[in-house]
Amino acid sequence: MGFDVTAIRKDFPILGRTLKNGKPLVYLDNAATSQTPQPVIDVIVDYYSRYNANIHRGVHQLSQEATDAYEQARQKIQKHLNIAHAHEVIFTAGTTHSINIVAAGFGQILQPGDELIVSALEHHANIVPWQMACERSGAVLRVIPMTPQGTLDLDAYEALLNDRTRLVFVNHVSNALGSINDIERIIHQAHAVRAAVLIDGAQAAPHLVADVQALDVDFYTLSAHKICGPTGVGMLYGKEKWLNLLPPYQGGGEMIATVSFEKTTYADLPHKFEAGTPNICGGIAFGAAVDYMNSIGFEQIAAYEHQLLLRATEGLKSIEGLTIYGDHDHKTAVISFNLAGVHPYDVGSILDQLGIAVRTGHHCAQPIMTYYNIPGTVRASFSFYNTFEEVDALIAGVKKAQQMLC
């Protein structure tokens, strides 16, 4: 079947909404949170309507049904990312939680003088936990510099690697700029010095599928709400050897094998990292979102979104005084830009009055904004359910904002 955006949009009830100003919604904040299709909403309603129960602990039918659905979702994610074992999939509250699990674990085994490498393109969630780990352990944080084009200087990265490097962590795709990083090279070169690699896949997941075995990556993270799923749930993939090595992040129920006042032993994977009652419905809906995205097809999604990106880039570049940051070819459908002499918040406010939802600010990536010496950007991020007419509405809206503010 061909790609039919009109039919796809019918799956998303919110896209038909008219806002309080009488304008139809043009939703271009997909890098923050994607919208949820009716098939995923139906799964959420079905769970709470028919088999809401705790998992792994009950012998009654509802508990067994919930457990089966939850573990089936884990298997869907395993298959989606070509993960070797289902127990290498850890359900979390999202990418931030996933990264903190790994950072807290490494923080207990790192030694003074060990080195960690982060990129200059990271979200704060892939910076701050590692700074905390360094403070606890005495390890040193090194930074891969960025270029004016919004890419990473991988020659500088290679020079940073040495026999003290223990872990490298970078995003697959920059949330602020949309830049797709060459993670294959990053992983290969890190492994050459026996360093582990964590890839933040939150922004890549809506646009492409990572094959973790082909990549040979040690850790990979993503959040359900970026791929048409609910908020508050995500996953951490970790190679079995690393997950067995790292200590648990939290203590409580579910993650134990035996408990006494003298000693506690921990459960096998994945339960070792899944203390307490999880977001059961969220995990099940996460699996449904993976199914939905695959039913559309990621190759079709990428091809269509690239056309949206080309049209938006061409139209915005025609506006005098507009600067696009991260203007290069190897990126997802994200455009960060500013109008000369205008604060990004003001542009976003005018667009909001026109019914166009974009994100303004530093996008939890302040080091990028510092590099460009700007307070923030206007970020328009596109999804496979957006239309060319919505792209044109954005371009017209920016032109109107410029007329009103300049």
Rounded distance between C-alpha atoms, residue 279 and residue 269, angstroms:
18
Three-state secondary structure call for residue 38: helix
Backbone angles phi, psi at 56, to 5 degrees: 70, 0
Residues 6+ apart with CB under 8 A from 20: none
Rounded distance between C-alpha atoms, residue 352 and residue 75, angstroms:
40
Residues 6+ apart with CB under 8 A from 170: 118, 119, 121, 122, 126, 144, 152, 181, 183, 186, 197, 199, 200
Query: Residues 134, 228, 364, 406: which is the catalytic one?
Result: 364
Q: Give 265-305 as a DSSP string.
A: EEPPTTGGG--SS--HHHHHHHHHHHHHHHHH-HHHHHHHH
Annotated active-site residue 228? The verdict is no
Backbone angles phi, psi at 19, to 5 degrees: -80, 175
Q: Residue 7's CB: how many other CB atoms inside 10 A?
A: 10
Catalytic residues: 364
